[in-house]
Amino acid sequence: MAVIEDTRQFAPAGTWTADPVHSTVAFEVGYAGVNVFRGAFREFAATLEGGSLAGSAKVASVDVKDEQLNGHLQTPDFFDAQRYPEIAFSATELDRRADDSVVGTGELTIKGVTRPIALEGSIAAAPATDPFGRERLGLSLTATIDRTQFGVSWNMPNQSGGDYLANDVKLVAELALVRAEA
């Protein structure tokens, strides 16, 4: 029996950086047992080179559409921004499948705790050229983590049972990557 291998590289050669205007780094967590609460980081960076992706987000830039809650997320109850001003991510095991789906593994560091994570998502079939002549490549990745494994364990009991915040958090990166000029 013959084995057919897809020998396409993960991404076209070069260095690709996230365009922060057209990209999003966000999270989703169950709230009060009745809905999903969402937030995002306004300041982040990501670089893709070959099959390796590295990125970081400034904790102080977290935005959940409520200034008081934004402030609470900066405290040791959550991200402890004073001691740990950045969240870091790296992935060197990204596999592009024939249908342009992506699977991989990486490491995530929150509050000084680094743990492995599993990734899935998709990558654009090919780069596109924008009206300004820059090549762009779309990459979407998700991962689900247990926030308590990173020391983010604040919670309160829900009067209807359970806790207000779920422990599982879905991380979402929708990256519009731009090829660096040579």
pLDDT digits (tens, 9 = 90+) for 6-30: 546 899 999 999 999 999 999 999 9
* Res. 55: pLDDT tops 90: yes
Give the integer Cα–Cα distance in Å for 27 and 85: 17
Which of 66, 25, 13, 39 lies closest to 165, judged by CA? 39
At 94-145, the pLDDT tens digits run 999 999 999 999 999 999 999 999 999 999 999 999 999 999 999 999 999 9
Give residue 165's region: left, alpha or beta (phi > 0; psi -120 to 50). beta
* Res. 62: pLDDT tops 70: yes
Pick the CATH number of 15-179 from 1.20.1050.10, 3.20.20.70, 2.40.128.110, 3.30.565.10: 2.40.128.110
Confidence of residue 33 (pLDDT cuts 50, 70, 90): confident
Contact yes or no for 90/52 (Cβ under 8 A): yes
Q: Take residue 124 and report the two structure tokens written for it.
A: 């654009």
Where do the H-state alpha helices sit in 34-144? Answer: 67-73
How far does CA 41 lie from the centroid of its chain?
Answer: 10
Contact yes or no for 28/37 (Cβ under 8 A): yes
* Res. 50: pLDDT tops 90: no
Output the pLDDT for position 161.
Answer: 86
Confidence of residue 182 (pLDDT cuts 50, 70, 90): low
Q: Take residue 173 and report the two structure tokens written for it.
A: 């990166």
